[in-house]
Structure 1
Amino acid sequence: MRFAISIPQFFADGEFDPPAFRAHLRRVEELGYDSAWTQEQVLTMHAQPQLGAIETMTYAAACTEHLRLGCSVFVTTLHNPVHLAKALSSLDQLSRGRLEIGVGHGGQGRMFSAFGVDPEGLVSRFTENLHLMRELWTRPSVTFDGRFWQLENAKMEPKPFQKPAPPVWFGGHHRNALRRAVRLGDGFFGAGSSTTERFAEEVRTLRALLAESDRDPDEFRLAKRIYIAVDDDADRARTRIAQKLEKLYGTPNIAAVAVAGTPDDCVRGVREVIDAGAELVLFTPMSAESEQAERLAAEVIPRLR
């Protein structure tokens, strides 16, 4: 089992505290977390201010030495794949090979017009973008004649520090998305907004698809984000995380996806996610991130190993 934690990103104008952020990430590393992860939301969601994913990961890389750094997930359909490939390759070099990349196509509900993207052919764009990025990461010269992108004798250097490329995680819920994950990804990342039961169903589907493919299931990793709150007062924990999640998603009653309560409550909830198939658990506290990181490391994780 590996355990990860989210990187704080929710800061309003002027709230970001560089020394506190550096101290928090260094302490996360000292506590033994495997990795730390961002989320991508370019346009503010439900009036929730959020720092950019790549920028936050880059700052975090400069604050740490060993901690792996990821994003779950980049909505790659909203990016120019050449620019994104370059940015991620550079970050993998700057971090000396500590990058993890989550990808998703974002679904039809996005404001594609703000990014100059036609939502028609969304899945085709998603798969083509990833294919082109991998070509740029692994080939000395790329000639590419796709539906959306065309390159001739294009060279991108330096390549990522990790060879052949950083691990690529897939998100998504639909069976077709899970099929793409098995075909094209290095792992699957269950969303924080999905229940443990939904994640267990996705894992069963993924394992069946892996059995049908020629892939080694041991080389395909499974992860789940968990919104979590540890508190000696269980009711207070549940109330606080419910308020935070409803603000984040703009949806009432979403708190059912979270694990919240006493340390005993949290151990039980996380154990259910592990039993459902998670090999990497990404803890995402919605407040008091430093305190939560300490409590999870001291009172929850040791009882799950």
Structure 2
Amino acid sequence: MRIGFSVPQFGPFADPDRTAHMCAALEALGCHSLWVADRLLAPLAPPEGYVGGKEMPARYATHLDPLLALGVAAAATEGVRLGSSTLNALWQPPLVLARALTTLDLISRGRLDVGLGLGWMREEYQAAGVPWQGRGARLEETLDVLDAVWRSDTVVHTGRLWTIPESTVLPKPLQDPRPPILLGGFTWPALERVGRRADGWLGASMPLPHFQGLWAVAVEAAERAGRDPAGLRRVFRVNADVTRAEADPAGTYQRGTVRQICEHLRLMCAAETDEVLVDLQLTTDSPEEFLDLAAAFTAELADAAPSPPPAPPA
């Protein structure tokens, strides 16, 4: 199991100097990766509400740009992987996105993991001037353009949305043939796309039956495409709601003591290449408490052996 943390970039952590200091401290704890998230705005009265019917956290109104925050993290660290979970892929033309990601891969000396998603908030699409309808097809062509830019000496693309004449686009990423691409999402089309096109899935901590049903879609899609599903990475995000006392076991996929949350994460991580992404930005406003909790999660998750599931009733 690999252990990752969120790059501090929201609310009280949206300060480049603080971000750099905390990223260096997180690497010193022994984590394997650091991940940025992507928010464009926080509507005062979103018509469709926040995910799960909850109120949007106020700190999401204050945020650092994810790609620039990754640049800060790259400069402050030496060996950890750096990724996005997730970068909303459709808010800029894919050729512009490819240029920025290539630059990040070079700045980080080949440590970039490209995590892309579609987002969920219509208001952000409206503000970015990008159609809400047809998001899946737009993402498919975005992936085509990224492949064309990163894998070909002479870059050319003719699609429904974008055209690139025969061109030279240099430099190329340091990672060959390209940085790993991981895709987020929790619908059948999203998991089918993971199995068919991606190097891995940006998932989340969730009840095991739900996770197993989703992952089966990616496995079947990979097999249909002639790919080995065992080669797909999985990164499980948890927006940890840490409690002092033990919480209801039914909700420990996201809420409970550090040990309870980690026990569930260990059950989800069945492969050595599986990774957890612990986001503590909604848990505390204090950099010191953030790092203390990160140390507690690192120590607990270092023992990667899962507890055996309860025996079925006789």
TM-score range (shorter-chain normalised) is: 0.7 to 0.9
Deviation at 1:258, TM superposition (A): 4.8
- Aligned partner of 2:230 in structure 1 is 218
* Contact 2:155–2:168 (8 Å) recurs in 1: yes
**Does residue 304 in structure 1 map to residue 304 in structure 2?**
yes
Aligned-partner Cα distance in 2 for 1:154–1:16 = 39
Deviation at 1:2, TM superposition (A): 1.0
Aligned-partner Cα distance in 1 for 2:177–2:83 = 17
- Aligned partner of 1:41 in structure 2 is 39
* Contact 1:230–1:295 (8 Å) recurs in 2: no
- Aligned partner of 2:145 in structure 1 is 132
> What amino acid maps onto 2:29 in structure 1?
L
* Contact 1:226–1:258 (8 Å) recurs in 2: yes
Query: CA separation of 1:75/1:15 partners in 2, compared to 1, >3 Å: closer, same or farther?
Result: closer
Report the TM-score when normalising by structure 2. 0.81
Q: Secondary structure at the match of 2:90?
A: helix
- Aligned partner of 1:247 in structure 2 is none
- Aligned partner of 1:190 in structure 2 is 203
Deviation at 1:143, TM superposition (A): 2.1
> What amino acid maps onto 1:16 in structure 2?
D
- Aligned partner of 2:93 in structure 1 is 80
Deviation at 1:277, TM superposition (A): 9.8
- Structure 1 gap segments, 5+ residues each: 239-254
- Aligned partner of 1:272 in structure 2 is 267
**Does residue 23 in structure 1 map to residue 35 in structure 2?**
no
Runs of 4+ that moved beyond 6 A: none
Q: How does 1:148-159 map to 2 (within 5 A)?
A: 148-159=161-172
More helix by share: 1
Deviation at 1:212, TM superposition (A): 3.1
Deviation at 1:76, TM superposition (A): 1.1
Name which of 199, 202, 227 aligns with 2:239: 227
Q: What whole-Å deviation, never above 9, does each CA across 1:189-225 have from its counterpart, x for those lacking one?
A: 1146x54442232122222333333102232112210
Aligned-partner Cα distance in 1 for 2:186–2:21 = 36
Q: Secondary structure at the match of 1:77?
A: coil
Q: What whole-Å deviation, never above 9, does each CA across 1:54-98 have from its counterpart, x for those lacking one?
A: 011110000001011100111112221111110000000010000
* Contact 1:222–1:277 (8 Å) recurs in 2: no
Deviation at 1:304, TM superposition (A): 1.9
* Contact 1:171–1:191 (8 Å) recurs in 2: no
**Does residue 282 in structure 1 map to residue 277 in structure 2?**
yes
* Contact 1:200–1:277 (8 Å) recurs in 2: no
Aligned-partner Cα distance in 1 for 2:255–2:237 = 14
* Contact 1:234–1:260 (8 Å) recurs in 2: no
Q: How does 1:42-191 map to 2 (within 5 A)?
A: 42-44=40-42, 46=56, 47=58, 48=60, 49-107=62-120, 109-191=122-204
> What amino acid maps onto 2:297 in structure 1?
L
> What amino acid maps onto 2:108 in structure 1?
S
Greater Cα offset, 1-10 or 59-68: 1-10
Q: How big is the alpha-carbon RMSD for the aligned residues of Structure 1 and Structure 2?
A: 2.6
Greater Cα offset, 143-152 or 82-91: 143-152
> What amino acid maps onto 1:175 in structure 2?
W
Aligned-partner Cα distance in 2 for 1:17–1:107 = 27
Aligned-partner Cα distance in 1 for 2:109–2:238 = 28
Count of aligned pairs between the two proteins:
283
> What amino acid maps onto 1:58 in structure 2?
G
- Aligned partner of 2:293 in structure 1 is 292
Aligned-partner Cα distance in 1 for 2:208–2:88 = 23
* Contact 1:102–1:171 (8 Å) recurs in 2: yes
- Aligned partner of 1:9 in structure 2 is 9
> What amino acid maps onto 1:146 in structure 2?
G
Query: CA separation of 1:257/1:268 partners in 2, compared to 1, >3 Å: closer, same or farther?
Result: closer
Greater Cα offset, 83-92 or 131-140: 131-140
* Contact 1:224–1:282 (8 Å) recurs in 2: yes
Q: Secondary structure at the match of 2:86?
A: strand
Aligned-partner Cα distance in 2 for 1:68–1:276 = 18
Aligned-partner Cα distance in 1 for 2:238–2:208 = 9
* Contact 1:77–1:106 (8 Å) recurs in 2: no
> What amino acid maps onto 1:26 in structure 2?
A
Greater Cα offset, 115-124 or 81-90: 115-124
Percent sequence identity over matched residues?
29
